[in-house]
Amino acid sequence: MPIKQSLLLEKSASYKEQLNENLRKFAEMGTTKKAFLCHSHQDADMVKGLIVLLLEYGIELYVDWKDQTMPPSPNKITAQKNQDKIKSCNLFLYLATHNSSNSRWCPWEIGYADSNARKIYIIPTENYNGTYGNEYLDLYSLIDLSLSNTKIGLAKFGIGGTNGEWLSSENI
């Protein structure tokens, strides 16, 4: 089931406290994976919630607007820096929202990641209007909210929602 945008917004409320605590915990364990996050800047609050949520699973997100070396306005340097980050990260995650569906940058970034054989996962979200994503996103695996009789949490699924397993930094 898609991740509720309200959950991400709720998680963003504890962004600063949880971020430092989780980063310290995983740095000690040495188990974080680095992921480039493709998203719309209009979804900044949801991104903060996703940062907190994924750190609980040992996944650290690179978010371009948090990068002090980025130019103040998007340009050619922005594109080059994003290309370098996409190449250097273990994963490429696409936060599927209404805003990312309308973004000029998101299709370019996922196209670049796809041509460089990155591990790509779509993170579908849902609000009161429905679930978001363009048709081409169906080509990729998913990270989604899942539940069983004994557990609720994030799981990863293959293309088409197949072969689900609970998410951890070791299996992604």
* Cα angle 67-70-72, degrees, rounded to a multiple of 5: 115
- The CATH number of the domain holding residue 79 is 3.40.50.10140
Amino acid found at 155:
A
Q: What is the pLDDT of residue 62?
A: 95
Band the pLDDT of 52: cuts 50, 70, 90. Answer: confident
- Which of 3-7, 32-36, 60-64 has maximum average pLDDT? 60-64
Percent of the chain at pLDDT > 70 equals: 88
Range of the domain at 64: 3-166
172 in a structural domain: no
How many domains does one find in the chain? 1
Report the candidate in 62, 1, 57, 49 with the shortest Cα–Cα distance to residue 26: 57
What DSSP letter does each residue of 21-48 carry, written as one string?
A: HHHHHHHHHT--EEEEEE--GGGHHHHH
- The C-alpha atoms of residue 60 and residue 22 are separated, in whole angstroms, by 9
pLDDT in tens, 91-101: 999 999 999 98
102 in a structural domain: yes
171 in a structural domain: no
108 in a structural domain: yes
162 in a structural domain: yes
Q: Is the pLDDT of residue 22 over 70?
A: no
77 in a structural domain: yes
Q: What is the pLDDT of residue 158?
A: 87
Strand locations in the chain (E): 3-4, 33-38, 59-62, 91-96, 119-127, 130-131, 141-147, 152-157, 165-166
